Amino acid sequence: MTAETGASAQIRYETPAPHVARIVMARPEAHNAQGLRMTYELNAAFDRAAHDDAIKVIILAGDGRNFSAGHDLSGDGGETWRDFGTVGTWAGFDAQGAEARYGREMEIYLEMCERWRNLSKPTIAQVQGKCIAGGLMLAWVCDLIVASDDATFKDPVIDFGICGVEFFNHPWELGIRKAKEFLFTADEIGAAEAAAHGMVNRVVPRDELAAATLALAEKIAAKPAFALKAAKQAVNHVQDVQGRRNAQMHAFSLHHLLHAHNELIYGMPMDPNGLPEAVRDKVLARVARAKAAKNAAG
Protein backbone atom coordinates (compact mmCIF):
# COMPACT_ATOMS: atom_id res chain seq x y z
CA MET A 1 0.00 0.00 0.00
CA THR A 2 1.15 3.52 -0.64
CA ALA A 3 -0.16 6.53 1.22
CA GLU A 4 0.56 10.13 0.42
CA THR A 5 -0.39 13.17 2.33
CA GLY A 6 -0.63 16.62 0.79
CA ALA A 7 0.24 19.85 2.53
CA SER A 8 -3.13 20.22 4.19
CA ALA A 9 -3.76 16.53 4.91
CA GLN A 10 -7.52 16.81 4.43
CA ILE A 11 -7.47 14.14 1.75
CA ARG A 12 -5.24 11.04 1.67
CA TYR A 13 -4.65 9.08 -1.53
CA GLU A 14 -3.90 5.38 -1.15
CA THR A 15 -3.47 2.40 -3.45
CA PRO A 16 -4.44 -0.50 -1.15
CA ALA A 17 -4.53 -3.15 -3.90
CA PRO A 18 -3.60 -3.43 -7.57
CA HIS A 19 -5.85 -1.23 -9.75
CA VAL A 20 -7.67 0.20 -6.72
CA ALA A 21 -7.36 3.77 -5.43
CA ARG A 22 -8.72 4.74 -2.04
CA ILE A 23 -9.42 8.41 -1.45
CA VAL A 24 -9.78 9.10 2.24
CA MET A 25 -11.29 12.16 3.88
CA ALA A 26 -8.81 12.72 6.69
CA ARG A 27 -10.51 15.23 8.98
CA PRO A 28 -11.86 12.92 11.68
CA GLU A 29 -11.64 15.64 14.33
CA ALA A 30 -14.25 17.55 12.29
CA HIS A 31 -16.17 14.40 11.29
CA ASN A 32 -14.80 14.98 7.78
CA ALA A 33 -16.82 18.17 7.36
CA GLN A 34 -16.34 19.33 3.79
CA GLY A 35 -15.04 22.85 3.35
CA LEU A 36 -13.40 24.43 0.33
CA ARG A 37 -10.03 22.78 0.86
CA MET A 38 -11.48 19.30 1.14
CA THR A 39 -13.70 19.89 -1.89
CA TYR A 40 -10.84 20.89 -4.17
CA GLU A 41 -8.46 18.26 -2.81
CA LEU A 42 -11.17 15.65 -3.30
CA ASN A 43 -11.63 16.80 -6.87
CA ALA A 44 -7.88 16.61 -7.48
CA ALA A 45 -7.75 13.10 -6.01
CA PHE A 46 -10.67 11.93 -8.18
CA ASP A 47 -8.92 13.41 -11.21
CA ARG A 48 -5.68 11.69 -10.27
CA ALA A 49 -7.39 8.30 -10.00
CA ALA A 50 -9.33 8.89 -13.22
CA HIS A 51 -6.23 9.90 -15.16
CA ASP A 52 -4.10 6.98 -13.92
CA ASP A 53 -4.70 4.12 -16.37
CA ALA A 54 -3.49 1.62 -13.77
CA ILE A 55 -6.50 2.47 -11.56
CA LYS A 56 -9.79 0.74 -12.39
CA VAL A 57 -11.89 1.22 -9.24
CA ILE A 58 -11.99 4.08 -6.73
CA ILE A 59 -13.07 3.89 -3.09
CA LEU A 60 -14.17 7.01 -1.22
CA ALA A 61 -13.74 6.58 2.53
CA GLY A 62 -13.56 8.75 5.64
CA ASP A 63 -11.33 8.50 8.69
CA GLY A 64 -12.78 8.23 12.16
CA ARG A 65 -16.14 7.53 13.68
CA ASN A 66 -18.27 9.18 11.00
CA PHE A 67 -18.17 9.25 7.20
CA SER A 68 -19.23 12.89 6.83
CA ALA A 69 -20.87 15.65 8.84
CA GLY A 70 -21.69 17.44 5.59
CA HIS A 71 -20.65 20.88 4.49
CA ASP A 72 -18.36 22.81 6.81
CA LEU A 73 -20.19 25.99 7.83
CA SER A 74 -17.42 27.28 10.08
CA GLY A 75 -15.75 29.54 7.54
CA ASP A 76 -12.93 27.58 5.83
CA GLY A 77 -10.23 28.83 8.20
CA GLY A 78 -10.06 32.11 6.32
CA GLU A 79 -9.47 30.53 2.92
CA THR A 80 -11.67 31.77 0.08
CA TRP A 81 -12.44 30.75 -3.49
CA ARG A 82 -9.35 32.68 -4.60
CA ASP A 83 -7.14 30.12 -2.82
CA PHE A 84 -8.27 27.34 -5.16
CA GLY A 85 -8.41 26.79 -8.89
CA THR A 86 -11.97 27.14 -10.16
CA VAL A 87 -13.13 23.98 -11.94
CA GLY A 88 -16.42 25.06 -13.53
CA THR A 89 -17.26 28.05 -15.71
CA TRP A 90 -20.12 29.71 -13.85
CA ALA A 91 -17.95 32.29 -12.00
CA GLY A 92 -19.42 35.65 -10.84
CA PHE A 93 -18.35 34.83 -7.29
CA ASP A 94 -18.00 38.50 -6.31
CA ALA A 95 -21.38 39.52 -7.72
CA GLN A 96 -24.20 41.15 -5.75
CA GLY A 97 -27.59 39.69 -4.86
CA ALA A 98 -28.22 36.00 -5.42
CA GLU A 99 -25.64 35.67 -8.21
CA ALA A 100 -22.55 34.96 -6.09
CA ARG A 101 -24.17 32.23 -3.99
CA TYR A 102 -25.76 30.62 -7.01
CA GLY A 103 -22.41 30.63 -8.80
CA ARG A 104 -20.50 29.28 -5.82
CA GLU A 105 -22.97 26.47 -5.11
CA MET A 106 -23.01 25.63 -8.79
CA GLU A 107 -19.19 25.42 -8.69
CA ILE A 108 -18.53 23.63 -5.41
CA TYR A 109 -21.69 21.58 -4.92
CA LEU A 110 -23.86 20.83 -7.92
CA GLU A 111 -21.34 20.77 -10.75
CA MET A 112 -18.58 19.24 -8.63
CA CYS A 113 -20.93 16.42 -7.63
CA GLU A 114 -22.11 16.01 -11.20
CA ARG A 115 -18.46 15.80 -12.28
CA TRP A 116 -17.70 13.11 -9.68
CA ARG A 117 -20.90 11.22 -10.51
CA ASN A 118 -19.85 11.17 -14.16
CA LEU A 119 -16.26 10.08 -13.45
CA SER A 120 -15.50 7.33 -15.95
CA LYS A 121 -14.49 4.58 -13.52
CA PRO A 122 -16.55 2.68 -10.93
CA THR A 123 -16.56 4.34 -7.53
CA ILE A 124 -17.55 2.88 -4.16
CA ALA A 125 -18.47 4.88 -1.06
CA GLN A 126 -17.36 3.24 2.18
CA VAL A 127 -19.73 4.69 4.77
CA GLN A 128 -19.58 4.36 8.55
CA GLY A 129 -21.29 6.26 11.35
CA LYS A 130 -23.09 9.43 10.40
CA CYS A 131 -23.61 10.59 6.83
CA ILE A 132 -25.41 13.91 7.06
CA ALA A 133 -26.66 16.47 4.50
CA GLY A 134 -23.69 17.29 2.20
CA GLY A 135 -22.25 13.92 3.23
CA LEU A 136 -25.13 12.28 1.39
CA MET A 137 -23.99 13.97 -1.80
CA LEU A 138 -20.53 12.38 -1.43
CA ALA A 139 -22.01 8.91 -0.96
CA TRP A 140 -24.60 9.39 -3.71
CA VAL A 141 -22.15 10.43 -6.40
CA CYS A 142 -20.49 7.04 -5.99
CA ASP A 143 -21.75 4.09 -8.05
CA LEU A 144 -21.97 1.69 -5.12
CA ILE A 145 -22.37 2.24 -1.39
CA VAL A 146 -21.07 -0.21 1.19
CA ALA A 147 -22.21 0.77 4.68
CA SER A 148 -21.37 -0.48 8.13
CA ASP A 149 -24.30 -1.65 10.22
CA ASP A 150 -24.00 1.47 12.40
CA ALA A 151 -24.23 3.89 9.44
CA THR A 152 -27.08 6.41 9.42
CA PHE A 153 -28.20 8.83 6.73
CA LYS A 154 -30.01 12.12 7.18
CA ASP A 155 -30.84 15.29 5.27
CA PRO A 156 -31.84 17.84 7.92
CA VAL A 157 -31.83 20.97 5.75
CA ILE A 158 -35.62 21.35 5.77
CA ASP A 159 -35.14 22.39 9.41
CA PHE A 160 -33.04 25.29 8.08
CA GLY A 161 -35.69 26.37 5.59
CA ILE A 162 -34.17 24.62 2.56
CA CYS A 163 -35.84 21.93 0.42
CA GLY A 164 -32.97 19.42 0.35
CA VAL A 165 -29.23 19.32 -0.29
CA GLU A 166 -27.88 20.79 -3.53
CA PHE A 167 -27.27 17.52 -5.41
CA PHE A 168 -30.94 16.56 -5.20
CA ASN A 169 -30.76 12.83 -5.73
CA HIS A 170 -33.19 11.78 -3.00
CA PRO A 171 -35.95 10.36 -5.26
CA TRP A 172 -33.42 8.37 -7.28
CA GLU A 173 -31.88 6.93 -4.14
CA LEU A 174 -34.97 6.14 -2.08
CA GLY A 175 -37.98 6.10 -4.39
CA ILE A 176 -40.63 8.78 -4.42
CA ARG A 177 -42.54 8.10 -1.21
CA LYS A 178 -39.55 7.34 0.99
CA ALA A 179 -37.75 10.39 -0.42
CA LYS A 180 -40.67 12.58 0.62
CA GLU A 181 -40.72 11.09 4.12
CA PHE A 182 -36.92 11.45 4.36
CA LEU A 183 -37.17 15.12 3.39
CA PHE A 184 -40.38 16.10 5.23
CA THR A 185 -39.37 14.55 8.57
CA ALA A 186 -35.59 15.06 8.35
CA ASP A 187 -35.41 11.73 10.21
CA GLU A 188 -32.30 9.64 9.88
CA ILE A 189 -32.50 6.19 8.36
CA GLY A 190 -30.22 3.30 9.21
CA ALA A 191 -28.06 1.28 6.83
CA ALA A 192 -30.47 -1.66 6.70
CA GLU A 193 -33.42 0.59 5.82
CA ALA A 194 -31.31 2.43 3.22
CA ALA A 195 -30.39 -0.94 1.72
CA ALA A 196 -34.05 -2.00 1.66
CA HIS A 197 -34.84 1.07 -0.46
CA GLY A 198 -31.94 0.42 -2.83
CA MET A 199 -29.73 3.29 -1.68
CA VAL A 200 -27.08 1.03 -0.14
CA ASN A 201 -25.65 -2.06 -1.84
CA ARG A 202 -24.24 -3.95 1.14
CA VAL A 203 -24.37 -3.66 4.91
CA VAL A 204 -21.50 -5.20 6.87
CA PRO A 205 -20.27 -5.15 10.49
CA ARG A 206 -18.30 -2.03 11.31
CA ASP A 207 -15.02 -3.84 11.87
CA GLU A 208 -15.33 -5.52 8.46
CA LEU A 209 -16.24 -2.38 6.50
CA ALA A 210 -12.84 -1.52 5.04
CA ALA A 211 -12.03 -5.14 4.15
CA ALA A 212 -15.47 -5.79 2.62
CA THR A 213 -15.29 -2.61 0.54
CA LEU A 214 -11.79 -3.42 -0.65
CA ALA A 215 -12.79 -7.00 -1.51
CA LEU A 216 -15.67 -5.67 -3.62
CA ALA A 217 -13.32 -3.17 -5.30
CA GLU A 218 -10.79 -5.91 -6.07
CA LYS A 219 -13.48 -8.14 -7.53
CA ILE A 220 -14.58 -5.32 -9.86
CA ALA A 221 -10.99 -4.34 -10.63
CA ALA A 222 -10.41 -7.82 -12.09
CA LYS A 223 -12.85 -7.00 -14.93
CA PRO A 224 -11.91 -5.29 -18.21
CA ALA A 225 -11.49 -1.55 -17.61
CA PHE A 226 -13.22 -0.32 -20.76
CA ALA A 227 -16.20 -2.62 -20.23
CA LEU A 228 -16.54 -1.29 -16.67
CA LYS A 229 -16.52 2.28 -17.95
CA ALA A 230 -19.11 1.42 -20.59
CA ALA A 231 -21.35 -0.39 -18.09
CA LYS A 232 -21.24 2.62 -15.79
CA GLN A 233 -22.06 5.03 -18.60
CA ALA A 234 -24.90 2.81 -19.79
CA VAL A 235 -26.57 2.72 -16.37
CA ASN A 236 -25.99 6.41 -15.67
CA HIS A 237 -27.51 7.21 -19.02
CA VAL A 238 -30.72 5.42 -18.01
CA GLN A 239 -31.19 7.94 -15.19
CA ASP A 240 -30.25 10.78 -17.49
CA VAL A 241 -32.81 9.92 -20.17
CA GLN A 242 -35.36 9.58 -17.35
CA GLY A 243 -34.73 13.23 -16.57
CA ARG A 244 -32.43 13.12 -13.55
CA ARG A 245 -30.42 16.14 -14.61
CA ASN A 246 -33.45 18.27 -15.47
CA ALA A 247 -35.11 17.37 -12.18
CA GLN A 248 -31.94 18.20 -10.25
CA MET A 249 -31.63 21.57 -11.96
CA HIS A 250 -35.23 22.34 -11.02
CA ALA A 251 -34.57 21.35 -7.39
CA PHE A 252 -31.38 23.45 -7.41
CA SER A 253 -33.39 26.48 -8.54
CA LEU A 254 -35.89 25.93 -5.71
CA HIS A 255 -32.99 25.47 -3.30
CA HIS A 256 -31.73 28.92 -4.32
CA LEU A 257 -35.18 30.46 -4.16
CA LEU A 258 -35.19 29.34 -0.51
CA HIS A 259 -31.65 30.66 0.11
CA ALA A 260 -32.83 34.04 -1.25
CA HIS A 261 -36.06 33.84 0.77
CA ASN A 262 -34.12 33.18 3.98
CA GLU A 263 -31.69 35.97 3.13
CA LEU A 264 -34.61 38.41 2.86
CA ILE A 265 -36.13 37.31 6.17
CA TYR A 266 -33.15 36.39 8.34
CA GLY A 267 -30.25 38.16 6.62
CA MET A 268 -28.59 34.81 6.00
CA PRO A 269 -29.15 32.00 3.50
CA MET A 270 -30.91 29.69 5.93
CA ASP A 271 -33.35 29.84 8.77
CA PRO A 272 -31.00 29.84 11.77
CA ASN A 273 -33.70 28.59 14.12
CA GLY A 274 -33.26 25.01 12.96
CA LEU A 275 -29.48 24.84 13.32
CA PRO A 276 -27.91 22.98 16.24
CA GLU A 277 -27.02 25.50 18.95
CA ALA A 278 -23.24 25.31 18.61
CA VAL A 279 -23.36 25.71 14.83
CA ARG A 280 -26.04 28.42 15.03
CA ASP A 281 -23.91 30.61 17.29
CA LYS A 282 -20.88 30.26 14.99
CA VAL A 283 -22.94 31.01 11.89
CA LEU A 284 -24.67 34.01 13.47
CA ALA A 285 -21.29 35.35 14.64
CA ARG A 286 -19.85 34.96 11.15
CA VAL A 287 -22.85 36.70 9.57
CA ALA A 288 -22.50 39.57 12.07
CA ARG A 289 -18.76 39.88 11.32
CA ALA A 290 -19.38 39.91 7.58
CA LYS A 291 -22.06 42.59 7.95
CA ALA A 292 -19.81 44.72 10.15
CA ALA A 293 -16.94 44.40 7.66
CA LYS A 294 -19.28 45.36 4.80
CA ASN A 295 -20.57 48.37 6.71
CA ALA A 296 -17.04 49.45 7.62
CA ALA A 297 -16.02 49.18 3.98
CA GLY A 298 -18.70 51.60 3.10
Interface contacts to Zn ion, rule CB under 5 A: 105
- Report the C-alpha gap between 216 and 146 in whole angstroms: 9
Closest approach, Cβ 259 to Zn ion, in A, equals: 6
Q: CB of residue 144 vs Zn ion: minimum separation in angstroms? A: 26
- Rank residues 105 and 173 by Cβ distance to Zn ion and give the closer one: 105
Q: Give the Cα separation of 135 and 139 in Å (integer).
A: 7
Q: What is the dihedral of CA 39, 40, 46, 48, to 10 degrees?
A: -160
* Angle of helix 225-241 versus helix 244-266 axis, rounded to 10: 60
In the bound state with Zn ion, the residue whose beta carbon lies nearer, of 141 and 191, is 141
- Segment holding 131, helix H or strand E: strand 130-132
d(Cα 204, Cα 221) in Å, to the nearest integer? 20
Closest CB to Zn ion among 105 and 111?
105
- What is the secondary structure of 166-206 as a DSSP string? SS--HHHHH-HHHHHHHHHH---EEHHHHHHTTS-SEEE-G
**Residue 166 Cβ vs Zn ion, minimum distance, rounded to whole Å:** 5
Q: How far is the CB of 270 from Zn ion (least distance, A)?
A: 8
Minimal CB distance residue for Zn ion: 105
For residue 150, give Cα distances in angstroms to 33, 127, 154, 162. Answer: 19, 9, 13, 27
Amino acid residing at 195: A
Whichever of 107 and 143 has its CB closer to Zn ion, that residue is 107
**Given the complex with Zn ion, which of 122 and 161 has the nearer CB atom?**
161
* Nearer CB in complex with Zn ion: 93/225: 93
